[in-house]
């Protein structure tokens, strides 16, 4: 019974995180402060319920200022093919995030 309750709580937390992320993406251009608040709520939920934030959400979030990095709006993208990663640079705080990819040679 206890395991089922924990699994249900984690599943509910994951659903809430995805819903909050969708809302944060929707209001990122019009109200960045509210978007940042939603992102901080996602991080609090993941820590409280001990649930990992999915990579689909994590790759969009700046670790330093908690903003959603939307290319062309508040971030820039560079492809560093010699090192095998894509560099996202946040225009708000200047933090650079590297997302590695595998090149098929």
In this prediction, residue 105 carries a pLDDT of: 57
Q: What is the pTM of this model?
A: 0.85
For residue 75, what are the β-bridge partners? 71, 90
Read off the pLDDT band of 102 (50, 70, 90). Answer: confident
pLDDT at 2 over 90: no
pLDDT at 32 over 70: yes
In this prediction, residue 103 carries a pLDDT of: 65
pLDDT, one tens digit per residue, over 36-89 is: 999 999 999 999 999 999 999 999 999 999 999 999 899 999 999 888 999 999
Domain boundaries, the chain: 2-100
Distance CA 71, CA 73 (A): 5
CA angle 82, 74, 37 (to 5 degrees): 120
CATH superfamily membership of 2-100: Immunoglobulin FC, subunit C (1.20.5.420)
Closest by alpha carbon to 11, among 41, 51, 63?
Answer: 51
């Amino acid at each position: 019974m206890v395991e089922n309750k924990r699994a249900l709580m984690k599943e509910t937390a994951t659903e809430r995180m995805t819903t909050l992320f969708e809302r944060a993406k929707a209001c990122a251009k019009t109200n960045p402060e509210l978007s940042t608040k939603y992102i901080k709520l996602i991080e609090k939920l993941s820590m409280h319920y001990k649930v990992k934030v999915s990579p689909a959400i994590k790759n969009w979030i700046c670790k330093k200022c908690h903003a959603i990095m939307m290319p062309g709006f508040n971030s820039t993208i560079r492809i560093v093919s010699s090192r095998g990663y894509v560099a996202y640079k946040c225009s708000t705080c200047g933090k650079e995030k590297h997302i590695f990819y595998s090149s098929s040679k």
